[in-house]
Copies of this chain bind each other. A is one copy, B any other.
Amino acid sequence: MSSEKINLQDKLAKFSEHWSPRVIAQMNDYQFKLAKFQGEFTWHAHTDTDEVFLVIEGNMGIEFRDKVVELSAGEMYVVPKGVEHKPFAQQECKVMLVEPAGVVNTGDAGGELTAQNDVWV
Protein backbone atom coordinates (compact mmCIF):
# COMPACT_ATOMS: atom_id res chain seq x y z
CA MET A 1 0.00 0.00 0.00
CA SER A 2 1.50 3.30 -1.08
CA SER A 3 1.66 5.95 1.57
CA GLU A 4 3.85 8.30 -0.44
CA LYS A 5 2.70 10.78 -3.00
CA ILE A 6 3.30 9.72 -6.58
CA ASN A 7 4.59 12.17 -9.17
CA LEU A 8 3.66 11.01 -12.66
CA GLN A 9 6.55 12.75 -14.44
CA ASP A 10 9.07 11.37 -11.96
CA LYS A 11 7.75 7.88 -12.57
CA LEU A 12 7.69 8.33 -16.36
CA ALA A 13 11.35 9.36 -16.28
CA LYS A 14 12.32 5.98 -14.82
CA PHE A 15 11.64 3.83 -17.86
CA SER A 16 11.76 4.10 -21.62
CA GLU A 17 10.44 0.83 -23.02
CA HIS A 18 7.33 1.02 -25.17
CA TRP A 19 4.25 -1.10 -24.49
CA SER A 20 5.59 -2.11 -21.10
CA PRO A 21 3.29 -0.84 -18.34
CA ARG A 22 4.78 -0.03 -14.93
CA VAL A 23 2.66 -0.10 -11.79
CA ILE A 24 2.76 3.13 -9.79
CA ALA A 25 -0.04 2.62 -7.28
CA GLN A 26 -2.54 0.10 -6.02
CA MET A 27 -6.02 0.92 -4.67
CA ASN A 28 -7.82 -2.09 -3.23
CA ASP A 29 -7.27 -4.75 -5.91
CA TYR A 30 -6.87 -2.25 -8.74
CA GLN A 31 -3.61 -0.95 -10.13
CA PHE A 32 -2.61 2.34 -11.71
CA LYS A 33 0.04 1.90 -14.37
CA LEU A 34 2.05 4.20 -16.60
CA ALA A 35 3.02 3.20 -20.11
CA LYS A 36 4.71 4.69 -23.16
CA PHE A 37 3.09 3.83 -26.44
CA GLN A 38 4.69 4.16 -29.83
CA GLY A 39 3.78 2.31 -33.00
CA GLU A 40 1.02 -0.27 -33.13
CA PHE A 41 0.04 -2.69 -30.40
CA THR A 42 -1.65 -6.01 -30.98
CA TRP A 43 -5.37 -6.70 -31.32
CA HIS A 44 -6.65 -8.11 -28.04
CA ALA A 45 -9.49 -8.07 -25.53
CA HIS A 46 -9.73 -8.40 -21.77
CA THR A 47 -12.54 -10.87 -21.24
CA ASP A 48 -13.05 -10.19 -17.53
CA THR A 49 -12.58 -6.47 -17.10
CA ASP A 50 -13.01 -2.98 -18.45
CA GLU A 51 -9.81 -1.00 -18.95
CA VAL A 52 -9.21 2.73 -18.57
CA PHE A 53 -6.80 4.76 -20.71
CA LEU A 54 -5.95 8.31 -19.59
CA VAL A 55 -3.53 10.24 -21.81
CA ILE A 56 -0.92 12.16 -19.81
CA GLU A 57 1.13 13.53 -22.71
CA GLY A 58 0.93 13.18 -26.46
CA ASN A 59 -1.67 11.63 -28.71
CA MET A 60 -2.82 8.07 -29.21
CA GLY A 61 -5.64 6.16 -30.74
CA ILE A 62 -7.57 3.00 -30.07
CA GLU A 63 -8.72 1.02 -33.06
CA PHE A 64 -11.90 -0.99 -32.62
CA ARG A 65 -13.46 -3.32 -35.15
CA ASP A 66 -16.05 -0.65 -35.97
CA LYS A 67 -14.37 2.70 -35.20
CA VAL A 68 -11.21 4.53 -34.20
CA VAL A 69 -11.04 6.71 -31.10
CA GLU A 70 -8.37 9.43 -31.01
CA LEU A 71 -7.21 10.63 -27.60
CA SER A 72 -5.08 13.61 -26.58
CA ALA A 73 -3.61 14.68 -23.24
CA GLY A 74 -6.37 15.10 -20.68
CA GLU A 75 -8.70 12.65 -22.37
CA MET A 76 -9.71 9.22 -21.16
CA TYR A 77 -11.58 6.23 -22.47
CA VAL A 78 -13.12 3.14 -20.92
CA VAL A 79 -12.70 0.05 -23.09
CA PRO A 80 -15.53 -2.30 -22.10
CA LYS A 81 -14.62 -5.83 -21.16
CA GLY A 82 -14.53 -8.31 -24.00
CA VAL A 83 -14.22 -5.65 -26.70
CA GLU A 84 -11.36 -6.15 -29.14
CA HIS A 85 -9.08 -3.14 -29.43
CA LYS A 86 -5.68 -2.14 -30.72
CA PRO A 87 -3.94 0.90 -29.24
CA PHE A 88 -1.54 2.86 -31.43
CA ALA A 89 0.51 6.05 -31.33
CA GLN A 90 2.38 7.63 -34.22
CA GLN A 91 4.71 9.40 -31.82
CA GLU A 92 5.50 8.48 -28.25
CA CYS A 93 2.47 8.91 -26.01
CA LYS A 94 2.46 8.70 -22.21
CA VAL A 95 -0.58 6.99 -20.79
CA MET A 96 -2.06 6.00 -17.46
CA LEU A 97 -3.88 2.68 -17.34
CA VAL A 98 -6.26 1.60 -14.61
CA GLU A 99 -7.32 -2.01 -14.30
CA PRO A 100 -7.48 -4.85 -11.81
CA ALA A 101 -4.19 -6.24 -10.56
CA GLY A 102 -3.18 -9.22 -12.65
CA VAL A 103 -4.38 -7.96 -16.01
CA VAL A 104 -1.93 -8.80 -18.77
CA ASN A 105 -1.34 -6.13 -21.41
CA THR A 106 -2.11 -8.35 -24.39
CA GLY A 107 -5.22 -9.83 -22.79
CA ASP A 108 -6.40 -12.92 -24.65
CA ALA A 109 -3.97 -12.47 -27.52
CA GLY A 110 -0.53 -13.15 -26.04
CA GLY A 111 2.41 -12.84 -28.42
CA GLU A 112 5.72 -11.02 -28.43
CA LEU A 113 4.31 -7.75 -27.08
CA THR A 114 3.18 -9.43 -23.84
CA ALA A 115 4.91 -7.56 -21.00
CA GLN A 116 5.89 -8.89 -17.62
CA ASN A 117 3.06 -8.18 -15.23
CA ASP A 118 3.10 -6.35 -11.91
CA VAL A 119 6.37 -4.51 -12.50
CA TRP A 120 6.49 -1.45 -10.25
CA VAL A 121 8.44 1.69 -10.96
Which one of B3, B24, B50, B76 lies within 8 Å of A8 (CB-CB)?
B76
Instruction: Using A32-B52, A52-B32 as known contacts, say yes or no to A71 and B27 having CB atoms under 8 A apart.
Output: no
Number of copies: 2
How many positions in chain A have a CB within 8 Å of any CB in the partner chain?
33
Decide: B30 and A77 in contact? CB cutoff 8 A. no
Decide: A80 and B3 in contact? CB cutoff 8 A. yes
A contacts, CB < 8 Å to B: 1-3, 5-9, 24-28, 30, 32, 49-52, 56, 69-71, 74-78, 80-81, 98-100
**6 A-B pairs in the complex with CB atoms less than 8 angstroms apart:** A1-B80, A2-B78, A5-B70, A5-B76, A7-B74, A26-B78
